[in-house]
Amino acid sequence: MPGETFSGEVSAINTSVNPESRTVRMRATLANEQGKLRPGMFATIKTGQPRENEVITLPRTAISYNTYGNFVFVVTENDDSEQVVERRTVTTGEVRDGRAEITSGLEAGETVVAKGLLRLRDGQRVEIQEESGQEASE
């Protein structure tokens, strides 16, 4: 039945994969009011639900991985309207292509120091400079 889509739920999945065909046997429960589906039919199925995850990511160089907890330096303003860095503990998640997901400790839109963390300390004044040949991001 080319071009037709049937929706249902997976009710059982075999625990082994056929090494020759790389297939898995499944059992699904489908509505079949029109009687189009017959026992023993084969199908190509897609599982899962499309979803978009909005996450905060940073370059791995912006995170100091430490045995006492990972942290980043966030650029804030002090009482004299000077830009200073604040050391903030963060929790990281997945890492892909040199970027790490931040699951807690940071809000979207905050400015974070991307490199040179070893030269910084909490409360230190900083000046933001864009690198030549690169656009500023995050």
* Domain map (residue ranges) of the chain: 56-119
DSSP H/E element including 81: none
Number of C-beta neighbours around residue 77 at 10 A? 9
Q: What is the pLDDT of residue 103?
A: 94
C-alpha 7/C-alpha 56 separation (Å) is 33
C-alpha 114/C-alpha 122 separation (Å) is 15
Percentages of the chain per state (helix, strand, coil), in multiples of 5: 5, 35, 60
The three-class DSSP label of residue 118 is helix
The matching CATH number, chosen from 3.10.20.600, 2.40.420.20, 2.70.98.20, 1.10.4160.10, for 56-119 is 2.40.420.20
Is the entire prediction scored with pTM above 0.85? no
Q: What is the pLDDT of residue 39?
A: 84
Q: Which positions of the chain have pLDDT values less than 50?
A: 133-138
Q: What is the pLDDT of residue 21?
A: 87
Q: What is the pLDDT of residue 46?
A: 75
Residue pair 70/90 in contact (Cβ under 8 Å)? The answer is: yes
Q: What is the pLDDT of residue 132?
A: 55
